[in-house]
Structure 1
């Protein structure tokens, strides 16, 4: 076991020697080259901060584990953002369906159910279409960024988004028709 302090460069040198492989590892897991670069940069900063509690027995394994942790943290962050957006959408639906003074537990339950069913409709989409839609609408990525991260044309991104919007439109038409029958 060689500690970071015992060997000049240590883990930083191993990081430099394996940077390309680590970047590919991150891109494969995030499917977003820009995010992968950001995560790799964060890992580099942590490594150079020298806040290691002791010697690192297997530096390359340590780096891969750091990459996995960074991806997991990024996914958690994205999930929290989706949850915030969903909460915002839920509040927006509730407020636009009658205002705060007319809220009843029944209306809140109905609107939550409508939102849950709308999200379930999106889950029926092919995975790639759903992820592109989330990248565009929730993660606020441009169509150009999405096209680059999936190695597809902007036209293909637009087609995926059209498919997702079509599903939402059909869902809205079905639910609006159901409400008009009440």
Structure 2
């Protein structure tokens, strides 16, 4: 039986007659009633968008072919998504053997780091202003000893002495 002219409405009627059969057919293939229901609903959406002048030689076969194509598209999409998500997870995960290691520090490590930072900040604030300025420029801004000396208009030797005094002070204050 070929459908011509108002084939869209005749095809929708056939769909409604065969809907339960379509759900059973795709439930077996997808192993899920919910997935089959979604797929059969997608068939309806596609049918409702068909041009009325489309000629279909075998409407029943067309319904099953349309459903099979939609199912394959969905499965390919799920496979691509799983592959992409797996690749992202692998790029974000550190493993030692089969053991997954968290890249995030533990809560205890984070608290200990904050405490050490607070002690370091307090110890730096105890330095005299010139030593503090030199220490910050060298350690935090990344300037070399000659660059710090040039910026402050002092000798390189003076920068080295201030840095040694700062490091001695910090070692004495920090556990």
Distance in 2 (alpha carbons) for counterparts of 1:4 and 1:48: 15
Distance 2:53 2:31 in 1: 32
**TM-score scaled by length of structure 1:** 0.49
Corresponding residue number in structure 2 for 1:65: 65
Task: Compute the TM-score of the two structures, normalised by the length of structure 2.
Answer: 0.51
Indicate the residue corresponding to 1:23 in structure 2: 23
Q: 4+ residue runs of structure 1 moved beyond 3 angstroms?
A: none
Once residues 9 and 81 of structure 2 are traced to their aligned partners in structure 1, the CA distance between those partners, rounded to angstroms, is 37
1:1-182 equivalent positions in 2, closer than 5 A? 1-3=2-4, 5=6, 9-51=9-51, 54-93=54-93, 96=94, 172=98
Cα distance 1:91–1:38, how it changes in 2: closer, same or farther (>3 A)? same
CA contact 2:8–2:50 (8 Å) conserved in 1: no
Number of residue pairs the alignment of both structures matches: 100
Who wins on radius of gyration, i.e. which is larger? 2
Q: Which runs of 5+ in 1 are unaligned?
A: 98-110, 115-171, 177-182
**CA separation of 1:82 and 1:23: change in aligned 2, threshold 3 A:** same
Deviation at 1:8, TM superposition (A): 7.8
Gaps of 5+ in 2: 102-175
